[in-house]
Amino acid sequence: QYSSVLYSIVDLHSITQPQDPDQLRNNILDMAASLLACGVDPERAILFQQSQVSEHSELSFFLLVLLSQRFLQVKSKQKNEGSVGLYTYPVLQAADILLYKSTHVPVGEDQVQHLELAQDLARIFNYCYGDVFPEARALLSSTRKVKSLRDPSAKMSKSDRQAMATISITDSPDDIALKIRRAVTDFTSEVTFDPETRPGVSNLVTIHAAMATITVQEAVSRAKGLDTGAYKALVSEAVIQRLTPIREEFQRLRADRAHLQNLLELGNRRARELAAPVLAEVRHRVGFS
């Protein structure tokens, strides 16, 4: 239903933390293979590498100069530590959105405030230079945040230092079963959904519902008569069934490095074709041309 759908591998954002260059190159291809394995169709969508579309960085600076330091402090989660890039990356995120005049952006709950910054910057730029950017709307799925298996007060994150906290699409069935079996729950055996008082069990219900493509209520219904130990086995089965074909497709794609690089280069060209006229319009409105 959208004229263009874009998936960006945001490698510029990654270097706000120290990166090993060889590992970064591999991570970029891993992400490309992951997105393709999960169903992104490069014939219908644009899959590209952010750093290869220089308009992202240039638009980011145009937006950065519109903000006061105090305004960015309110929007940023970062403390007074780390690189300046960690402090200003929400502006680059806004540029990622506005550069394509995006109308809708799929986000998790923790990213809503960054989308709000993009909306703010669209309004500020339009006020200063005339209407250029639409205000993108958030697309929130029913599974907006999956929590850590070891600490259900925190989100599941690939950067978590605890390997048992996160399920990866490349995990083996045995690894998935082990991680879910050791997931933090509580001392009540019945399975219910109450994120406030039973975050661990509720997180498993959320995962089960997402993997089985059912509602939370249906997941709880399927758990009737099971204690949490037996329910973990049911959740494991659903996750393994959903992720196994994805893992196998990832491995197939990842074995052909040249194919992935060619797909990304094609996506980079298509993204530049969309980005270049927008940045040209921005430069003209600002007075550079």
Residue 271 has pLDDT above 60, yes or no: yes
Asked if residue 191 lies in contact with residue 220, where contact means CB atoms within 8 angstroms, the answer is yes
- Per-residue pLDDT tens over the stretch 205-261: 999 999 999 999 999 999 999 999 999 999 999 999 999 999 999 999 999 999 999
Residues 169 and 280 in one domain: no
Residues 168 and 227 in one domain: yes
| Phi, psi torsion values for 194, nearest 5 degrees | -150, 85
Q: Does 1 map to a domain?
A: no
Residues 185 and 90 in one domain: no
Catalytic residue among 79, 147, 224, 232, which?
Answer: 79
Question: Does 79 qualify as catalytic in the annotation?
Answer: yes
SS3 106: strand
Question: Does 147 qualify as catalytic in the annotation?
Answer: no
> What's residue 84's pLDDT?
84
- Per-residue pLDDT tens over the stretch 37-68: 999 999 999 999 999 999 999 999 999 999 98
Q: Does 246 map to a domain?
A: yes
Catalytic residue among 147, 155, 179, 232, which?
Answer: 155
Task: Give the range of the structural domain holding residue 172, as residue numbers without chain letter.
Answer: 163-251
- Cα 19 versus chain centre, distance: 19
Asked if residue 34 lies in contact with residue 252, where contact means CB atoms within 8 angstroms, the answer is no
Asked if residue 148 lies in contact with residue 157, where contact means CB atoms within 8 angstroms, the answer is yes
Residue 75 has pLDDT above 80, yes or no: no
Which band of pLDDT confidence, cut at 50, 70 and 90, is reported for residue 77?
Answer: low
Instruction: For residue 30, give the CATH number of its domain.
Output: 3.40.50.620
Residues 104 and 182 in one domain: no
Assessment of whether the complete model's pTM goes beyond 0.75: yes
Residues 179 and 260 in one domain: no
- Per-residue pLDDT tens over the stretch 187-199: 999 999 999 999 9
How many distinct structural domains can be found in the chain?
A: 2
Q: Does 156 map to a domain?
A: no
Cα-Cα-Cα-Cα dihedral sign, residues 226, 154, 238, 171: negative
Catalytic residue among 75, 101, 145, 158, which?
Answer: 158
